[in-house]
Structure 1
Amino acid sequence: MQETRLDTARIRAARRVIDPIFLDTPLYRCEALEPHLGCAVSVKLETANPVRSFKARGTEVIASRLADHGPRAVVCASAGNLGQALAWSGRGRDLDVTVVASRFATVAKLDRIRALGARLELVDGDHEPARERAAAIARYDGIRLVEDSLDIETCEGAATIGLELVDPVPEFDTVLIALGGGALATGVGHVVKALAPEVEVICVQPLGAPALTLSWRGRRVVTTDSTDTIADGVAGRRPIPAVLDDLLLVADDAVLVQEASITAGMRMLLHHAGLVVEPSAALGIAAILEDRDRFAGRHVVTIVCGSNVDVDAYHRWVGAAPAHRP
């Protein structure tokens, strides 16, 4: 494999500084889903932790380094999950954490950021103005800016999921990964291609937020003017060039899925796996639903990456129709 920005030795070292509560998350065959999807399905569950997403794997690495020899203050832009994770990791190491988010972000995520003791600043617009404001705060105050997916710690923290997937030798032949900023996809993809290159890495993004998928397909950065998806955790408009370079080396495919498939995937995970997930976490199931023939007879792993949902919105999404039937 050609070299990405990531390093497998550093990824193994990252495991040693991540709080064990975020490591060795459940990986299990979910047979109840299989009659409805036509393939063997295993779930890697990244929601059974204090911040209910995979993001703390990366923020633990960042916060541990700042606590040792960095500024004691840090700022990030977040749709919600990164902010929660950074607040949790910073609180345990006595760091001053500021999170910038869109005022239209999921209320439950914003409330949790506040509860974890971070300073929260809300801006108009979507995630891109939040990124710009966070960068301005970092420059003005002289503090550390955490940029999800650009900062290698966020990718290598997420990559520890890959170590858990391929050690021991994997029984699955495909891994489906939610694609947003790219930290999860490039991190897990790096490890899979380094240690189990026969496994197909497929990234999944909403049709209403396609920027990084279009960039991967065109092998150049493609930006969009807006997004239109319930999957707020992956709704970026301006891919980071360095992240695209990494993604091009580790992704075998990148697919786009419709909103109806995302909500159908959420319903299936609720009814057949007992899992309450946010839309981003259902992207893998959505990809199978939209292309059953491609996955027929295969053994697929999907990473369930987050479960921070607004209860009212969740009921609207999953209550609109009964569980999907074959």
Structure 2
Amino acid sequence: MNSERTGDGPPAGDDPPAGDDPPTADDIVTVADVEAARERLDEVVHRTPLDRSTTFAERSGAASVGLKLENMQRTGSFKSRGAYNTMAQLPPAERERGVIASSAGNHAQGVAFAGGLLDIDTTIVVPEVTPSSKIEATRGYGADVVVEGDIYERSYEHALSLADEKELTFVHPFDDEAIIAGQGTVGLELLEQYPELDTVLVSIGGGGLISGIATVLKAHDPDIRVVGVQPEGAFHAKPSLERDEIHELPDVDTVAEGIADTRLLEKTFAVVRERVDDVVSVTDREMSVAVTLLAERAKTVVEAAGAAPLAALCSGAVDVADEHVAVVVSGGNVNLAEHAELTRTGRMELGRYAEANLSVADWPSGLETLTDTVDNHGAELEELERTRRTNADEPNRTPVKIGVAGSGPKQLSSLLVALDHRDGIAVVNDSLDG
């Protein structure tokens, strides 16, 4: 993904007037606000499970690792917490008129879900690049979905215009006190489920989730370490903390759509600055590995944004030796095709999947030699495609692309060597060699 803006945050131009004193974290959200939010959310959202993982503890050197599975939350992400907490507090007149939001994904479903429960009409403006699965899911919760704008910024602007025109209340995805308080209920659950907690890893897009969680954890124990995680292609929070001012990226480039924001805003910046200890970055490939490991080891489907904290844990971006670490898995709204691509990339990074371009004689009878060799090495042939012939290909040979899965790079490397030595088959290039 590469665009001017693709996350749920607004464009530039929303900063406070020059000369105003910036708000403090306590001005924005307190533990009392979060506790009040939990009362509103009681019997509305799930108390999501904390799944202890020996595998990830051993992999990272941590004393223990707990996966806070917000992908199992209603609507598939934590966003329903903040959306409901915000909309439940609207005055009757605003409820009657309805609300509007702009979103490329999870916030849209959270607002639509809350509207259905509270009998509030909801309108969601989404950019043209929004996957149809997410649009249909949002409509399934009863929202009126408006597709407008080639990028998120245009959708945001259109939503504000409709809000003025139709006197609708705009529900912000993250830079709102009630939104932050609602997301903070994740932190209250963490304290109850994981009392020995030393460090928590949380994704950062616009900063609403980490602001709420940090508010709760720091009030309980200032020594609990709160670490934010962002993709390399949307890494704005760390520069903001280092410069002590909001740093805005000109564009973003990441597979993690859910946290592809270009900056923090006034309220989230104030909370993050005071209550978050550090922010680290991960690559798209590291997130793909985390998505893969979550599917294999935790048997759970997660989107790239939700896997970012685990990517930080597994890649060594954060030193967690002998610590009790919570990993907030923030969402699982990913379509099957995208999840398949992420896990394919993840398996390639782990050396458990390889692609190779072959030159095969005696087509198609040469396929028997190919499949027999794969079977004899205990590997699995997942992909086989006859590709377009080029001038570099011998006229009497057929170019073929294969994808093979195995236990690790040693097995797959041995297989490719064996294929290259079979009569009538030559390995032209493969992903193990780059």
Are residues 1:320 and 2:342 paired?
no
**Which of 1 and 2 has greater Rg?**
2
Are residues 1:268 and 2:293 paired?
yes
One-letter amino acid matched to 2:87: A
Match of 2:135 in 1: 110
Unpaired runs of 5+ residues, structure 1, are: none
SS at match of 2:255: coil
Q: Which moved more, 1:34-43 or 1:265-274?
A: 34-43
Match of 1:224 in 2: 249
| TM-superposed deviation, 1:168 | 6.8
User: Which of 73, 88, 94 is matched with 2:119 structurally?
Assistant: 94
Match of 1:243 in 2: 268
Match of 2:70 in 1: 46
User: For residues 136-168 of structure 1, what are the alpha-carbon distances to aligned partners after superposition, in whole Å with 9 as ceiling and x for unaligned?
Assistant: 211121110011221211100000111111237
Q: Which moved more, 1:232-241 or 1:212-221?
A: 212-221
Q: Which moved more, 1:286-295 or 1:258-267?
A: 286-295
SS at match of 1:103: coil
Match of 1:11 in 2: 34
TM value normalised by structure 1? 0.93
Q: Distance in 1 between matches of 2:324 and 2:57?
A: 10
One-letter amino acid matched to 1:120: V
One-letter amino acid matched to 2:244: R
| TM-superposed deviation, 1:107 | 2.9
Unpaired runs of 5+ residues, structure 2, are: 1-23, 352-407, 409-434
User: For residues 231-280 of structure 1, what are the alpha-carbon distances to aligned partners after superposition, in whole Å with 9 as ceiling and x for unaligned?
Assistant: 10111114312211111011000111111111011111111111110011
Q: Distance in 1 between matches of 2:316 and 2:300?
A: 22
Q: Which moved more, 1:277-286 or 1:59-68?
A: 59-68
Q: Distance in 1 between matches of 2:313 and 2:115?
A: 37
| TM-superposed deviation, 1:21 | 4.6
User: Which of 25, 28, 36 is matched with 2:59 structurally?
Assistant: 36
Q: Distance in 2 between matches of 1:296 and 1:261?
A: 20
Match of 1:66 in 2: 90
Q: Distance in 2 between matches of 1:274 and 1:86?
A: 28
One-letter amino acid matched to 1:130: S
Q: Which moved more, 1:62-71 or 1:203-212?
A: 62-71
SS at match of 2:261: coil
Aligned pairs (5 A) from 1:69-84: 70-72=94-96, 73-84=98-109
- CA gap of 1:294–1:169, structure 2 versus 1, over 3 A, is closer
Q: Distance in 2 between matches of 1:44 and 1:69?
A: 37
Match of 1:149 in 2: 174
- CA gap of 1:168–1:29, structure 2 versus 1, over 3 A, is closer
Maintained 8 Å contact 1:180/1:233: yes
Cα RMSD, aligned residues only: 2.1
TM value normalised by structure 2? 0.71
- CA gap of 1:172–1:65, structure 2 versus 1, over 3 A, is same
Maintained 8 Å contact 1:91/1:117: yes
| TM-superposed deviation, 1:36 | 2.6
Could you say which structure has the greater relative contact order, defined with CA pairs below 8 angstroms and 6 or more residues apart?
Answer: 1
User: Which of 235, 239, 258 is matched with 1:214 structurally?
Assistant: 239
| TM-superposed deviation, 1:229 | 0.6
One-letter amino acid matched to 1:42: G
Maintained 8 Å contact 2:56/2:314: no
Match of 1:196 in 2: 221
Q: Distance in 2 between matches of 1:96 and 1:299?
A: 43
Are residues 1:280 and 2:305 paired?
yes
Q: Distance in 2 between matches of 1:30 and 1:47?
A: 16
Q: Distance in 2 between matches of 1:92 and 1:219?
A: 40
Q: Distance in 2 between matches of 1:228 and 1:149?
A: 21
Maintained 8 Å contact 1:224/1:238: yes
Match of 1:309 in 2: 334
| TM-superposed deviation, 1:29 | 1.3
Maintained 8 Å contact 1:19/1:60: no
Q: Distance in 2 between matches of 1:156 and 1:304?
A: 18
Match of 1:180 in 2: 205
